[in-house]
């Protein structure tokens, strides 16, 4: 009768150690591959951004989180490395570059501030002439069509209640979107000179026309403000809302905690999830 083969204790311990090392190595390999895929997706395809201000109300609300298509206008140094904790400027121009369309909602940076992401709507392309007259938008001398869709008293970003009018605006290329006003045509944002967009730049505006710091007054500080956004500074096009959390009562610029998931049934804006950005 054959006796069972016995494994020496030292060999058994070594075998277990190799198995343990192999298991740890396999886990590390999976984690590395997952991180690599996530970085590639975030760098080349889609990157998430949150909306911290009300400049694009009613299109985007404070507390919205959106996916931005990084490939929409090709790749620049700013767009490729925006997903990293630091954003080195390694080259100029865009790879596979293309112009945005008037009406696109775009995330971008400005030359004087490489750490802040802005999001606005493209209103003018190179060579376009933009002007606001008594609250009406003019593009290349033509008044942009708009029609009143609602009027009500609402709490706005200042924390005060104002009469708010919403209009459906139709841009020259047929793109329609909703804007809102609180000044009813008054104020410096509603009455401007003519802006002629230079080559290699775009003109940006918020849909919350009276409460948006945009190309009408310049981005950055008054000493180094940029009225026009260079094409190289475009990060990508906002595509879809994937998450949205309500603001705190009486605090239109402060959101509820997104980490308090047990409160999501009451704090999420369920009707906004997966809504396209138009």
pLDDT digits (tens, 9 = 90+) for 232-264: 999 999 999 999 999 988 788 889 999 999 999
Mean pLDDT, rounded, for 205-221: 86
Q: Calculate the alpha carbon distances from 73 to 49, 68, 272 in Å.
A: 17, 11, 26
Average pLDDT, the chain: 86
What whole-number distance in Å separates Cα of residue 203 and Cα of residue 278?
18
**Phi and psi of 188, rounded to 5°?**
-65, -30
pLDDT band, very low/low/confident/very high, at 225 (cuts 50, 70, 90)? low
What whole-number distance in Å separates Cα of residue 117 and Cα of residue 61?
16
Each residue's pLDDT tens digit, 133-157: 999 999 999 999 999 999 998 877 6
Tokens of 230: 């260079």
Annotated active-site residue 145? The verdict is no
Between 59 and 34, whose confidence is greater?
Answer: 59
- At residue 115, does pLDDT exceed 80? no
Q: Calculate the alpha carbon distances from 218 to 141, 215, 227 in Å.
A: 22, 5, 4
Mean pLDDT, rounded, for 184-204: 89
Task: Give me the pLDDT at residue 10, please.
Answer: 55
In terms of CATH, what superfamily is 45-272?
Answer: Umud Fragment, subunit A (2.10.109.10)
Tokens of 260: 């308090």
Are 83 and 107 in contact by the 8 Å Cβ rule? The answer is: no
Tokens of 240: 């879809």
Each residue's pLDDT tens digit, 34-48: 888 877 877 788 999
Task: Give me the pLDDT at residue 15, please.
Answer: 56
| Lowest mean pLDDT, pick from 91-95, 103-107, 133-137, 252-256 | 91-95
| Active-site choice (120, 165, 212, 215) | 120
- Give bridge partners of residue 147 from the DSSP assignment: 168
Count CB-CB contacts under 10 A for residue 28. 10
- At residue 19, does pLDDT exceed 80? no
Task: Give me the pLDDT at residue 177, please.
Answer: 98
What whole-number distance in Å separates Cα of residue 227 and Cα of residue 214?
7
- At residue 265, does pLDDT exceed 90? yes
Annotated active-site residue 120? The verdict is yes
Between 274 and 226, whose confidence is greater?
Answer: 274
pLDDT over 70 percentage in the chain: 85
Highest mean pLDDT among 19-28, 80-89, 256-265: 256-265
Per-residue burial over 52-89, b = 16 or more CB atoms within 10 Å of its CB, e = otherwise = ebbbbbbbbbbbbbbbbbbebbbbbbbbbbbbeeebee
| Active-site choice (53, 55, 77, 87) | 55
Mean pLDDT, rounded, for 200-215: 94
Are 169 and 177 in contact by the 8 Å Cβ rule? The answer is: yes
Mean pLDDT, rounded, for 46-64: 94
- At residue 27, does pLDDT exceed 90? no
> Residue 182 belongs to what H/E stretch?
none
Task: Give me the pLDDT at residue 24, please.
Answer: 81
| Domain ranges for the chain | 45-272
| Residue with the two structure tokens 């906002």 | 238
Task: Give me the pLDDT at residue 167, please.
Answer: 97
């Amino acid at each position: 009768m054959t006796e069972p083969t016995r494994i020496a204790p030292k060999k058994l311990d070594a075998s277990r150690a190799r198995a343990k090392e192999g298991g740890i190595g396999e886990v590390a390999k999976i984690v590395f591959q997952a991180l690599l895929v996530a970085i590639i997706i975030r760098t080349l395809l889609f990157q998430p951004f949150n909306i911290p201000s009300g400049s694009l109300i009613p299109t985007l609300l404070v507390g919205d989180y959106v996916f931005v298509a990084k490939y929409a206008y090709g790749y620049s140094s700013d767009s490729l490395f925006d997903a990293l904790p630091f954003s080195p400027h390694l080259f100029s121009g865009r790879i596979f570059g293309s112009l945005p369309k008037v009406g696109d909602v775009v995330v971008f940076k400005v030359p004087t501030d490489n750490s802040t992401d802005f999001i606005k709507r493209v209103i003018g392309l190179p060579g376009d002439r933009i002007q606001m007259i008594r609250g009406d938008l003019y593009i290349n001398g033509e008044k942009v069509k708009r029609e009143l869709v609602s009027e009500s008293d609402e709490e706005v970003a200042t924390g005060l209640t104002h009469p708010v009018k919403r209009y459906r605006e139709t841009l020259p290329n047929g793109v329609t979107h909703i804007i809102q006003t609180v000044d009813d045509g008054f104020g410096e944002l509603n009455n401007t000179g003519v802006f002629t967009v230079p080559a290699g730049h775009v003109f940006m505006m918020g849909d919350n026309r009276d409460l948006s710091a945009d190309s009408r007054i310049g981005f950055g500080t008054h000493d180094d403000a940029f009225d026009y956004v260079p094409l190289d500074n475009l990060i990508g096009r906002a595509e879809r809302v994937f998450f949205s959390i309500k603001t705190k009562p009486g605090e239109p610029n402060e959101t509820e905690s997104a980490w308090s998931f047990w409160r999501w049934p009451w704090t999420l804006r369920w009707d906004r999830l997966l809504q396209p950005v138009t």
